[in-house]
Structure formats: structure tokens, C-alpha cells
Structure 1
Amino acid sequence: MVNGMLAPGQTLVTEEGEKVKVADMFGSGGQGEVYRVRTRKGDRALKWYYPQIADNRQRQILEGLIACSWSDDRFLWPQTVVVDADGRLPGFGYLMDVRPDRFRDLPALFRRDPAIAATTQRTLVTAALHTVEAYRALHGKGIAYRDINWGNIFFDPHTGDVLVCDNDNAVFEGESAGVAGTMDFMAPELVRGDRGAQPGIQSDLHSLAVLLFLLLMNHHPLEGALALQIRCLDENARKKLYGTDPVFLYDPNDTRNRPVPEEQQTVVATWGALPPILQRLFVETFTDGLKNPLRRVRESQWRDALSEVLDTICVCACGRQNLTEPNGPAPHCWGQNCGRPLTLPPRLQLTIGSGRTRTEPRSVRLGPQARLYAHHMVVEAERHDFTAVVAEVTEHPQQPGRFGITNRSGTRWTARRSDGSVHDVDPGRTIGLSTGLQLEFGGGAEAVVRD
């Protein structure tokens, strides 16, 4: 045995007394090694800690997380502690589910890995939204992740689904743990080592914003001209860049760290294509939020903005997906060889709820194959589920270029045309799209089609 490495065929035992057998090794990291193991319920993943990590504090953290009995499919959550069946091998590990093959690591995006070539703008925004909602759920349980970075979250390049891994360092807010974070994702007060500063939910919000910027911009939010001037990016240089003198690339009042166009073309292009609703949130969290943790953008703010942008993605004639501003003007296509003004499709202005919970109208662009989901029909969705389709824009089978909205729900709608005529739209039926068309979906959800 070297550094706690387990042998194929070795028998271990869970705290409940179930025996598991080591099959093969998935890989290793900074804290331990991960193996596939056989259990009576099928294959599981086992993280086995290196001896120097397997101390009493790590065991306490692990047992506290397991006691939560949290079964959220966005997290590979620790399920049970595992030890050597014979008691001869010191240390311990824990079982979790095996990560499905469809999930890829985020660095694959930045490597431009061919395996994620199918990733679209819609997929990236969806992944960002799911990421925000996952950490919102974690924080809602009073748990701080403490080490949000691009190595701990995986995504499906086809659907945007996400999976959060390495959850064994998360702790309940206020508790201490050995992991403080990864420096280029850490909040400035942690990088500086300010008196009393501890990793927690507020520092998680900074790390989450860095992750979102990387996901959407393919670049770090604090690495512009100042980073290019550094000859040796050693610990002191990194501490200044991320802690003692952090400057956002697009800080409106401090231009020292603007991206250098000749060397950092990607972030220049992607920032220019980002809708103002997201630009404003990044500016807020990376200016005021760098100085005051209480000014950092909350998960609910990211969720609402990303959800609105997702509803207004438009496809240019060149085929490029473009992020647009909800209810905003038509931007120019950001395609490198295009740049033409976008022709925006009609929008559905959706209002839901009743009384004091009645919402302001929300716009959904009605391009080909646009959809409404169950989360559109509630005031505040806890989670966006893109499998729960309630309506879909479809093309007329005999009249190309003519579109309608098809009822994919299980209830009848009422449609009112601008000429005053009223029509029932049963499940599976379609009503032609026209300006002024009003739709009553039931439960207080209503919409009107606008140009």
C-alpha cells in the first residue's frame, strides 16, 4: 500500500456492516483516491483519504454531511463511511454514486475538447442556471461549500445538467474545516487572510460568480492587463491579483485591468455579446462585492437573470445563437463572420399568480421550437426542469413559415384572438400565432403575443 492505495479485490466494510469489494481505480486528487467498488446495490464510487487527511475532524465533517441524508441528484453526496473490514488498514473513506459518463468537466470547455463540441450558448446558460440553483439549494440547508471551483462541477454538454462533486469538504455555516478554497476562486478577504475572515456562504457567492464568469466568458474576471504584466505568477503575485489589489476587467471606475484585445480577444468578444442584465450583475459583484461581502450578488438574482436570458435566446440567419436582453432592442449577431442585426421573433408576455403574488409580465421569445415549461407557470420555481414542457412553438406541416403554439400540457387552454373570437385549445392541439393573441393557461397564468 502506498498513500492509502487500495488493491483490486480488497474487502472493505461500511458503518452499517455491509461489505464492499474494490474493483478498479478512477483517479486521484489532493485528498485521496477514488475507486469503483462492488456493493449489493450495484457499483458505487469510493473516495479513500490519504493518511494525512483522514483525521478526526475530517471524519466529523463527513459524518455530519451523511447525517443530512440529502438525496439531491445534482450532488454526489457522501452516503456512508467505509473502513477496512479487517481493521488492519488505518484511515477511512466514503461511498457515493458513480458519476455518469454523460457529465464532462468544465476545463474541457477551455481546452476546446472535441467531446464537448456540441455545446451551445443555450447549453452554457442552462448549465450556469443549474449551477446557481444547485448551490442555492446547498446554502438553503445552511451548508457552505467552501471550495467552489471549475474542478468540482461537471456538466452535460447536450442538456446543461450539472453535477457537483467533492462535497466532503462542505460544512455547516460557522463550522471550521481544513479547506479554505482555491486561490483564483477565493474571496479577496480570504486571499488576504483578513482577521476573522472564514470561508462560508458569503465567500461562496464570490467563488460562484467567478465560476459563472468563466463558464460564460471563457476567462477569469480578474485577469486582464494587470495579469499580463506579471512576469512570474508566483504566490505573492497571485495574492495581489486576487486579494490585495483585485480589479474587475470591466470595472467602470478603474480601467487598469481592461483586457488586452490583441491577447485576450475571447473575453472582449464574449463580454460584448453578453446582455446588459448579466453585465450589471457581474459589475456589481466584482466591484462593490470585492470590498463588501454583503454586496455580492445572491443566487436568486443570478437565477432570475439567467432564466430571463434563456427565454430570449435568438438564432441568427447564420445559425449562431445570440443572448439578448429581455424586452430589449435587437443586437447584432456576435458571429465572427456575421455581425448582421438580429431579426427578433414575436414575444409572449406571460403573467402568473394572483393578488399580491401577481407577477410583472415576463417575455419569452417565440422563435422556432421555443418552449414553455412548468417553471414558467409558478411564481417562484425552486428548480428549473426542462423536461416538463407545457407549450411549444411548432411549424404548420403543410404551410412552411407559419407557426403556432401547441398545448403540451394536460389541461385545456382558452385562446382569444384580436378579432374577439374565442377558441379552446385542448392538449395536443395548436393555435396559430398572431399579434394580440391572448392565452389563458389556467391557475392564473395568462399571456399575450406581442411583436
Structure 2
Amino acid sequence: MNGMLEAGRSLVTEAGGKVTIKSLVGSGGQGEVYLVDTSQGRRALKWYYPQLADDRQRRILEGLIDRGWDDDRFLWPQAIVTEAKSGRPGFGYLMDVRPARFRDLPALFRRDKSVSATTMRTLVIAALHTVEAYRTLHSKGIAYRDINMGNIFFDPKTGDVLVCDNDNAVVEGEPTSVEGTMDFMAPELVRGDHGVRPNIQTDLHSLAVLLFHLLMNHHPFEGAQALRIRCMDEHAKRKLYGTEPVFLYDPNNGSNRPVPGEQATVIATWNALPQILRDLFITTFTVGLSQPSRRARETQWRDALSKVLDAIAACTACGSQNLTQPGGTPPDCWSCGRSVTMPVRLRITTHRGSLRTSRVVHLDPHVRVYGHHLVDEPERHDFTDVVGEVTEHARKPGLFGLTNRTDRTWTARQSDGSLQNVPPGRTVSMQAGLLLELGGGTEAVFEN
């Protein structure tokens, strides 16, 4: 296998469980990953390079394993593995095997065929899942330390994400030997500012860089200045990302704008990006460079991405999905240039009285309404919890309605006050002014 561990080799967990090496999967900066057999079934084993298998890393692993975290968005360390009876110092840890449906983000940027099913909607869902995953981690007082595109995998069809290499994570304030990947690191870490360690605030910078890559397919600091660099060595990188970082679209400094003809993709994608997301990037990559507390929080990204996802509109001329500004004017299609015709909207209002909150969902064909639309502030967006779906009439092509996918009966109220029951599986016309009572004090009304 040309790895540190040969096939058939026996290892042991600290609890005495037997681990048998099957095959080498790959290698990275800290070690190698193997498929192994255990008494609980097939697992993955990360085995550290000898120079990195030190007491500090072992203590970090022990702390993470003791937490017993079972969040399905993370390949969390499960057990420390050592040599069987040899007494040699090497060690690694067990984790679940990454399902085959997940692809790495670089495959997206390379436009691999394996990610050809990815749509604009899927990208936004992946960004939303990523933000919520790191929010969960940070809420437990854990800093990831090394957020970058190599540690996130996504499903091109659903947008589900999986966070790997979680042995980098530490409780906020604990010392660490891993500071991150330079082009994703916060400027204060790149510069090596006195007393600065990787923490949740530096994670927020890295998260914003990752989101920019995901939505823009580009780095937020690599504009005209990067193109003038003849040798991208460590000194040049420290200047670009640490000592003199300039955001591509800094409103007060145009020295690092993308170069037309050379960097056309990021210019086009930025122009098509809704202002609600632009504002978060601008704040994080301008004042946030020197004031970490000003960086966009996960909740801000979550709320903005959720609104943008619900405001996606397909161009009726070419079918391309367009990100639109929530509540804004129709944009020109990024693909064909024609003005996008906005679809019928569903304004959903939750609860009653002065605390009522509302959100708007654009009802393109086959769009779904989910359970998270019916609560004030969802902890996690679940795209398997479908409560309604835009469907086409079986005998009248081009005529769409909203189908009840719950096990409860909705009540539809016409403008004249007349009522109509909408049982599970039945469809209601999406006519402007029609009000739906969805239960639990939640109402929805169709708008043009």
C-alpha cells in the first residue's frame, strides 16, 4: 500500500478492541487515512506521522472523544488506536467512513463530472449547512482552527456537508500547534501577532473565506495585487493575506479589484450576488480585518443565506437559477441577460400578536416548503422535512399549485371569507390573496 501501515496489520483501541488494517485511502499534512475492520464494523483510521504523534495531540484527542459528540455533520474522533503489544509510540484515531456521495470542494472548482449535478440552489444549501455546522461547534466553546476547503465535503445533489479532520479542534483558549492554512487564516495569525492563538474569532474569518470560495469560486484577496506577484512564496503570501490584505471589493480601496479578462468569473459572480451577502463579506473583509469582533457571525450568515435561498428565481427564458435580493427588484439573468420574471411568493407568518415573524418563499416549479419555514428561528435547516411542494396540474400543463405534504389538513381562506379544506396530498391554487392556515398559529398568504 506504500503507507506506514501494511494491510492485515493488527492494532488495538485503548479499550482493547481489535483493529485490522484493510487498505490505504489517502494522506494529508498530518498523517494517513486507512479503511479498517473493527468489532463495530468498517471504520476509517487516521494514523499520525511519527513527528506529529506527540502528547499534546493525544490530549486533544482524548478531550474530543470524551465529549462523545454524535452530530452527523462531523466525522468525530471515536477512539484512540495504538500498536498492539509493540510498545511503539505511534497512534491514531477511529472515525466513521465518509459516505461515497460526498465530494471534496476542490472537485467543484475543477468542474469535475462528479459534481455536475450541483445547482445554484445546492451551493447555497451547502453554504447554509456549513455555517450551521460550525455554529454548533462554536456554541460548545470549540474552535476548529483550520477551516479550509480541504476539510469540507458536500453532496452535489442535496447540499449536505460533512466536516472532516476534527482532531484539529480545541476548546477555546487551549494551546495548539496547528494554526491553519495560510490563505484561510485570519490576518493576525498570518502576521504572528503577539499573544494571538487560533480561536472562534479567527475561525469566523476562515469561514468567510470558505464561503467566498464556495459562492464566488475565488479567493477574496487575490485580485490585481496577486496578479502582480511573480513568485507566490511565503513572503508574498504573508503580505497578501496578513500584512497588507485588501478585499477585492473594498468600497474605500480599489487597488485590488479583479482584473477584467483575467479574473472575469469573480467579477460576474460578484455582480450577481445579492446585496445582503455582499454586505457581510464587505464588513468581514474590511473592518473585520483589524477588528475581529466585527466579523460576521454564524447567525448572520445563516439568516442571510436562508433568505437568499428562499428568494432564488429561475429565469423563464433560459431556466438558469438566479440569486435575488430578498424583497428587491428583479435582476437580469446572469446567464442570458434577460430580466427575471419573479414567481408567485408565499409569505409565511409564524405565531400571533406583536411577536409575529414572517419570511417569503419564491414558488418556482417544484420548490418545496419545509418545516424550518414554520418556526421563528430554526436551529438547523432540515431539507428532508417537506411540508408543501409546488406541483404541476396533471391535466393542465403549466398550471401549478401548492400540494400539502403534511399529515394535517390545511384551511384555505378566500378574500370573500369562504373556507376550503386542503387535506394531506391535496393541492391548493396559488392565487394572490389566498390565505392558508397551517396550524399552530402559522399562516401563509400568496402574493404576486
Q: Answer whether TM exceeds 0.5 for this pair.
A: yes
Q: Does 1:402 align with 2:402?
A: no
Alignment of 1:113-192 (within 5 A): 113-192=112-191
Matched residue, 1:94: 93
Instruction: State the SS of the aligned residue for 2:127.
Output: helix
Alignment of 1:20-35 (within 5 A): 20-35=19-34
Q: Could you tell me how far apart the structure 2 residues matched to 1:32 and 1:354 are?
A: 55
The answer (yes or no) to whether the contact 1:131–1:162 under 8 Å persists in 2 is yes
- Identity, % of aligned positions: 68
Alignment of 1:278-289 (within 5 A): 278-289=277-288
Matched residue, 2:214: 215
Q: Does 1:352 align with 2:364?
A: no
Alignment of 1:31-46 (within 5 A): 31-46=30-45
Quote the offset at 1:87 in angstroms: 2.6
RMSD (CA atoms): 1.2
The answer (yes or no) to whether the contact 2:404–2:426 under 8 Å persists in 1 is yes
Read off the aligned partner of 1:410 and give its amino acid letter. D
Instruction: State the SS of the aligned residue for 1:48.
Output: strand
Read off the aligned partner of 1:397 and give its amino acid letter. A
Partner residue of 1:341 out of 336, 339, 342: 339
Q: Could you tell me how far apart the structure 1 residues matched to 2:155 and 2:170 are?
A: 27
Q: Could you tell me how far apart the structure 2 residues matched to 1:234 and 1:27 are?
A: 27
Instruction: State the SS of the aligned residue for 2:57.
Output: helix
Matched residue, 1:437: 434
Read off the aligned partner of 1:440 and give its amino acid letter. E
Matched residue, 1:331: 331
The answer (yes or no) to whether the contact 1:210–1:221 under 8 Å persists in 2 is yes
Instruction: State the SS of the aligned residue for 2:44.
Output: strand
Q: Does 1:298 align with 2:297?
A: yes
Q: Could you tell me how far apart the structure 1 residues matched to 2:236 and 2:26 are?
A: 31
The answer (yes or no) to whether the contact 1:418–1:435 under 8 Å persists in 2 is no
Quote the offset at 1:356 in angstroms: 5.5
Matched residue, 2:229: 230
| Mean CA deviation greater in 348-357 or 324-333 | 348-357
Q: Could you tell me how far apart the structure 1 residues matched to 2:427 and 2:157 are?
A: 28
Q: Could you tell me how far apart the structure 1 residues matched to 2:145 and 2:41 are?
A: 31
Q: Could you tell me how far apart the structure 1 residues matched to 2:271 and 2:262 are?
A: 16
The answer (yes or no) to whether the contact 1:25–1:34 under 8 Å persists in 2 is yes
Partner deviation per Cα, 1:104-161 (whole Å, 9 max, x = no partner): 1101111111111111101110100000000001001110000000000100111110
Matched residue, 1:379: 376
TM-score by length of 2: 0.98
The answer (yes or no) to whether the contact 2:345–2:362 under 8 Å persists in 1 is yes
Alignment of 1:1-80 (within 5 A): 5-80=4-79
Q: Which runs of 5+ in 2 are unaligned?
A: none
Q: Could you tell me how far apart the structure 1 residues matched to 2:78 and 2:291 are?
A: 36
Partner deviation per Cα, 1:212-256 (whole Å, 9 max, x = no partner): 000000000010001111111111111111111111000111000
Q: Could you tell me how far apart the structure 1 residues matched to 2:23 and 2:253 are?
A: 52
Q: Could you tell me how far apart the structure 2 residues matched to 1:228 and 1:383 are?
A: 40
Q: Could you tell me how far apart the structure 2 residues matched to 1:251 and 1:18 are?
A: 55
Q: Could you tell me how far apart the structure 2 residues matched to 1:306 and 1:411 are?
A: 29
Partner residue of 2:417 out of 416, 420, 432: 420
Q: Could you tell me how far apart the structure 1 residues matched to 2:43 and 2:159 are?
A: 24
Partner deviation per Cα, 1:139-187 (whole Å, 9 max, x = no partner): 0111000000000010011111000000001000000111000000000
Q: Could you tell me how far apart the structure 1 residues matched to 2:260 and 2:352 are?
A: 50
The answer (yes or no) to whether the contact 1:357–1:379 under 8 Å persists in 2 is no
Matched residue, 1:252: 251
Q: Which runs of 5+ in 1 are unaligned?
A: none
Q: Could you tell me how far apart the structure 2 residues matched to 1:369 and 1:66 are?
A: 42
